[in-house]
Structure 1
Amino acid sequence: MAMEVAEEEEGKEVMVTPGEVLGKASNLIPGKGAYVAPHNNTVYASLSGRRTLIPPPSPDSPDQRPTVEVTGHKAHGAVPEPGSIVIARITKVMARMASADIMCVGPKSVREKFTGTIRQQDVRATEIDKVDMHLSFRPGDIVRALVLSLGDARAYYLSTAKNELGVVSADSIAGATMVPISWTEMQCPLTGQIEQRKVAKVGG
């Protein structure tokens, strides 16, 4: 019966997203794009894509569980995970948070869209209550950030609360690439104008 179900579902296009439950480990073997959580013996998807079930290699196999795989929309690109260092472009700055599109995980570029959120409390490690988001980031800034967790609405929670994290590249109002002059300021080489940012400390 399990074989029939596996084969029947194999032809169906079922789209899943990271963290989505695929089934119990007692019924499924996690393949590519899937992992099992030991605390509840549940198989989850680790990336966005199409879920497929692969039947056991033969009816005589000792393990008759089908293998579940998640195939990304595109070839497997890098996927952000808690603890990853990512490079992201700020898209929107609000009073309590900033949104960003994740471009790289470590040295690898991503091949699908991942959105990140930097909350006010995750911008820096000190004087958290005095953080002004509009003086920390501007749309278009390139930031280095740490992935904290998979947050709400499929956006990853990001943190820049370490010295080496924060804005690594930003354009001034005049359109020039600014030079960092302190942990909180960057200067336009054309006009000499100083703008506030949460700057990533160079060299660690």
Structure 2
Amino acid sequence: MGGGPQSVRQLSGRSLALIILAALVVGYLLGSIPFGLLLTRAAGLGDVRSIGSGNIGATNVLRTGHKGLAAATLLLDMFKGTVAVLLANHFFGMEAAMAAGFGAFIGHIFPVWLGFKGGKGVATYLGVLLGFGLNPALVFAVVWIAMALMFRFSSLAALSAAIIVPVSLFYMGMPMVALMFGVMSVIVFWKHRANIQRLAAGTESKIGSKG
């Protein structure tokens, strides 16, 4: 992933800090758009937070029985992360791209519009990852699909992918991005703590089960 027309490394310390902050804020605002909630309300299905896990993400939207809405939620939640990374990288380079991507991820999980109670971040995590390259995103996708097919637990698939991704990024020669995704993976695990408890107890809902 290349730098933008003017790398932030060429700027003064103050300008660098302002650009990083601006990228973080813009990324956060993009990430905080609650597509799952907006789409289900527009479809006349009410508040998706009232069913299943109470989450606004694609897995919970799928529990409404509307696969098309779930797919749309997944894609939109992904691409808001991708757009944040690509725009920041295009204009200001890798450092800004990392800030924007992290901001988008945090925005999805803690959206100001919903009292800082958002999704679990998996789709946006993948979208941010895609912004840094197709190969890292393919690693996530392969691990997620394999685990989902074997066990049919979305949470287990996501957690497995979140373990592999930072390691893969490190071996792909992106140590700073790997570090950022390591932090993001820790947050993903923290957001899935209830799922982990249900997995251990054998009560976790499988993919496709309705709320």
Q: How would you bin the TM-score normalised by the shorter chain?
A: under 0.3
Q: TM-score, normalised by structure 2?
A: 0.23
Q: Which of these two proteins has the greater Rg computed from alpha carbons?
A: 1
User: Which structure carries more helix by proportion?
Assistant: 2
Q: Which protein, 1 or 2, shows the higher relative CO under an 8 Å CA cutoff with sep ≥ 6? A: 2
Q: TM-score, normalised by structure 1?
A: 0.23
